[in-house]
Each structure stands twice: as C-alpha cells, then as structure tokens.
Amino acid sequence: MFQEYRALFLYCVSPVHMGAGTALGVIDNPIQRERHTGHPVVAGSGLKGAIRHQLRQLCNDSIMLQILFGPEPNNSTEHAGALSFSDAQLVAFPVRSVRRAFVYATSPTALARLYRLLHSAGVQVKWKMEPLQEGCCKVVNPELLLGEKIALESFEFKAKIDKELRIISEWLSDNTMPKDGGYAFFRDKLKDDLVLLSDEDFNYFVKNATVVEPHVRIDDITGTAQEGGLFYTENLPPESLLVSLAMATKNRRKNGEKLGAKTVMNTLVKGKADESLPGIDGLLLQIGGDATTGRGQVVIKIVGGNDHAES
C-alpha cells in the first residue's frame, strides 16, 4: 500500500495535552497512553489532523493539500489522502536529576521500538540494546554521577558508563532536533545526558512524573470559583521526545496531476518549490488541547529515505 516511509520526530517545547477522554483516578483529563506499556502516545489520527490544520493556515495550494491529506468534508471529490501517520511512540522522557537539572531517560524497549521504526524508514542504525536490572542504569556523562550512583527524583540508581549508549545518544542528538542555534543546547544535552533505565524503572517515571495541573472555572458574574469547578489536567512534559512513521502512497485523486509516492513524501517534508506549500521538516507545530494557554508546541524533524546514510 505505502511505498515511501520517513521517521518523524516530535520534540516537545511546551507541555503537551493529547487528551484520552476518560478520567483516571484524581486526574480529570489524562493524556493518551498505550494500553500494553502505559507509555504516553500521540494518536496518528490526531497528529495527521494537526499537521493538516497547520499547513492549511500556511498553504496557497488547496489542491495539493487535498492530494496529501484527502478532501475536506462535504467535498464533491471523494478519494483518500496519500499520507498516513502511525501513533507517535515515546523515545525519551525528561526526569529531574540532582546533577545537570534533568536527564533524558529511555529504556531498552523504547530504543528497540525506535530501532525497528528507523529500519522501516530506511535508516540502518547499528545499536546494541540489552535488558537492565531494576535499580541499575547506563549513562554517558560522568558528571551525572554521585560516586557510583545517580539521583533521579527521590531515587538512586547504580550507574555504569557505557560506550554503546554514547553511540545512540550522538545519533539522537544529530537527528531528532533542528540544526539551528536555538536547539544547540538541547542537542548537546541529549548527547551527554541520555540515561538508559530498566523498563520497570522507566515505566514508573512515565506514569508518575508527568505534569498534572489544577484548573479552576471562574464564574463570569461573581468572579469567584464555580462550585465543583476544580479539575486536574495531565500533560506530557516539555523536552519529551517521540517518534512516528510517516507513510506515503501515490496520488489517489482521480483527476488532475498524478504524483508518485516519492514526490508526495518530498512535498510533505520539503514543501513545493514555488513556496505555495511549506515543508514540515523543522516546523513548530501545535498538537492537542489547551492551545490558547500555550500548550502543545512541538518541533518536527524528519529522518529517513535515500538521503540518510547508514549509522
């Protein structure tokens, strides 16, 4: 069905709320999570809708937008769009650290899933991912160490410097954020402060160290809090890193210009030469809810295809 694939990285610049629609415990508005891992996730349908909405505001070529994403509702033309996106899976999660403010935590399972997705996108990385015992971790930066341990939140983990993890952290630093100067600090930090936790320890942090904010509804007349108006909203914290698989097929529009899958994908990534449609590589995108309060800002980085060398 699909002929072209790219890895699409999402780096969270602000807290992100992709709502699950179902209250869990004391959290009234939880974020989306995978059922089998409990990891935060961004549904592919929501990601596609957010990208389409953003490009619609910037695009002067409505026909190309229909080719890429399909026609608008109630449009007389009926055809599927040439693009699809998988759910965005978690790669790295920010965890508070005694040293260097925070680290980018990951796990063998998270890296194995990234490895598999990258190979689907034509990126031939060579990583070794071995399971870890609970309470142990691997690091690349000795500045994180307190003796032979590191302290994350209120927990201590026995740490080991690992050269193989350095290969992974350097690849992530080089490929998951834009190259402009605004992200230089965070690229360097991702390279130096990646920490590999066991799946069990990683799962604890992604389930219990998200941002939970209280909100109060104010009565417009009295200017005071409405009765029962207190509610709690969960957000994925800024500096989180996720990855999705962008997939393209040939143009399915019956009439007009016929585009192959490679042209469709290149148009999505780089835009059109006449600038009537911008590309999404390096785009600052708003996804999820609470846009009016600055939530949901993520930056996109595209990797894969024939342009990407073996790593």
Separation of alpha carbons 277 and 61, rounded Å: 6
Residue 24: per-residue pLDDT: 65
Nearest to 176 by CA among 39, 7, 14, 41: 7
Mean pLDDT per segment of 10 residues, for the chain of length 311 residues?
A: 95 92 74 94 95 91 87 71 95 97 97 96 90 96 96 97 96 96 95 98 96 78 70 92 96 75 94 90 93 92 70 42
Q: Are 17 and 234 within 8 A, CB to CB?
A: yes
3-state secondary structure of 252: coil
Strands 149-152 and 155-161: antiparallel
Separation of alpha carbons 161 and 139, rounded Å: 5
Separation of alpha carbons 121 and 249, rounded Å: 14
Q: In the chain, where does DSSP find H-type helix? A: 44-58, 62-69, 108-120, 163-175, 184-192, 199-208, 261-270
| Burial of 36 from C-beta contacts in 10 A (0-12 / 13-18 / 19+) | exposed
218 φ/ψ sector (left φ>0, alpha ψ -120 to 50, else beta): beta
45, two tokens: 């349908």
Nearest to 291 by CA among 9, 19, 1, 5: 19
Q: Are 173 and 188 within 8 A, CB to CB?
A: yes
